[in-house]
Structures are given as C-alpha cells and as structure tokens.
Structure 1
Amino acid sequence: MRIHLSSVFVDDQDKALRFYTDVLGFVKKAEVPLGEYRWLTVVSPEDPGGTQLLLEPDSHPAVRPYKAALAADGIPAASFAVDDVRAEFDRMRGLGVHFTQEPLETGPVVTAVLDDTCGNLIQIAQHT
C-alpha cells in the first residue's frame, strides 16, 4: 500500500495552479473538467509518477470554517519536503510569498510556514 493522492482545499483552482506550479515548482499532472470545477492535480517534477496533490475546490460548506480554523491556529494544511529550507525561504520570499513562520530549527528538522494564497498554510521541512 502507498499514498497515491492527497489534497488541499483551495478557493480558486486557477490561482492555486499558478501558485503550486510557478512558485512551489510542482508540475500539472491531471486536469479533467467536472462541470464548474476540475479534477486538478500536481506532482513533484522529481517524481512525476509519485503522489499527486489534488487542488480541490473548497465549496463544501464545512470546508471554509475548517480552513479558517486551521489558519487561525497556525496549523499547516500540508507539509512538503525540501532539501534546504533556508534557500527555499529566500527564493520564495523574493517572489513575494508571505511566511507566517521563518526558518526554525527544532532538533533534526528545519521548518518554515507559508501562505499559499488560497486559504492554506503550508509547511516546508528539511531533515538535517
């Protein structure tokens, strides 16, 4: 058994696709029209056959309060591994990304938390 798909709820699929590809560096894997929305996934360019991230619309009534509560408490909706948190922090900050937590070393892990512009906090993590 392996993880095939995970998702983040987004308030705008087009905006999310731009952020997750242009800023975070993922690549689009699937885009299937489903009426008003799309089945829209991205993957790591380092593992194109790996786990897909579904950019899922947050239109269900329970989702927006859930997202708002997580963000208000500073809880990331997802965590992505990077080779160098400080380098990614500098690169993304140069692109105008807002971070709610600058790089923080906690034992063998360095993390930072950013706002994905779609209603989520996202953690980037490096195991040292």
Structure 2
Amino acid sequence: MRIRLTSVFVDDQAKALRFYTEILGFAVKHDVPMGGEHRWLTVTSADEPDGTELLLEPAGHPAVKPYRDALVQDGIPLAQFAVDDVHAEYERLRALGVRFTQEPLEMGPVTTAVLDDTCGNLIQIATLPG
C-alpha cells in the first residue's frame, strides 16, 4: 500500500496554485476542469514528479471552515512537507513574503517551522533525521 494522493482544502484554487508552485516550488501534475469554477488540480514535488500528489481541493464543504479555523486557532498544521534544511527554507520563504507562525524550532533530531499558505491552512516544514 502506498499513499498516492492527499489533499489540502483551499479557499481559492488559482491563488493556491500560485502559492504552491511559484512560492513553494511544487509542479503541476493535473489541472482538469471539473465544470464551473472548480478543477481537479494536483501538484507534486518538482524533484519527484511521479511521487505523491497534493490535491488543491476547493474548501466548499460546510465542515471545512470550522475544522480549518479550529486548527489555525490552535496553531496546528494541516500538513507537513519535508525539506533538506528548515533554516535555509525559512529564510528563502521569508524573503518571498511568506508569513510564519512558528520560526525554526529544534525538537531533538527534528527541526520544524510553520507557515501560513495564504489559502486557509498552516503548513509545517520539517527536516527529519536521515
């Protein structure tokens, strides 16, 4: 069994696409119109184009807003992305205007930081022991 797809709910797919590709550096895997304003819009790591896909899913379901609001209020990230060096990625992203809710923090062998994806979610970046 493998993880093929996971999703983050986003307020605006076009805005999310810009953030996840132009700022975070992911690459578009699928961009399929679904009728109306929604698309089947997935991104992957530019380094692993056949790896796990992240669906930038419209946040239209009524349960999404209270769920995401509660996570953000408590400072809980919705997802975690691995990076080679949290400190370097933190500096790169800050220079691009990304807002962080947690600066790099070392917790034993793991270093993390938490950013606001501008689409309603907190995302954690982490450097894990190799």
Gaps of 5+ in 1: none
DSSP 3-state at the match of 2:103: strand
Q: Structure 2: how far apart are the matches of 1:24 and 1:99?
A: 13
Partner of 2:80: 79
Q: Structure 2: how far apart are the matches of 1:94 and 1:5?
A: 30
Q: Which amino acid aligns with 2:118?
A: T
1:41-73 CA-partner distances (Å, limit 9, x unpaired): 000011100100000000001101111111001
Partner of 2:99: 98
Tell me whether 1:40 sits opposite 2:57 in the alignment. Answer: no
Q: 1:1-80, aligned counterparts within 5 Å? A: 1-36=1-36, 37-80=38-81
Counting matched residue pairs gives 128
| 4+ runs deviating over 6 angstroms | none
Cα-Cα RMSD: 0.6
TM superposition score normalised by structure 2: 0.97
TM superposition score normalised by structure 1: 0.99
Q: Structure 2: how far apart are the matches of 1:40 and 1:122?
A: 18
Q: Structure 2: how far apart are the matches of 1:127 and 1:73?
A: 23
Tell me whether 1:114 sits opposite 2:109 in the alignment. Answer: no
Q: Which amino acid aligns with 1:14?
A: A
How much identity, in percent, do the aligned residues show? 70
Q: Structure 2: how far apart are the matches of 1:35 and 1:67?
A: 25
Q: Structure 2: how far apart are the matches of 1:93 and 1:76?
A: 18
Q: Structure 2: how far apart are the matches of 1:127 and 1:16?
A: 26
Shift of 1:76: 0.4
Shift of 1:98: 0.2
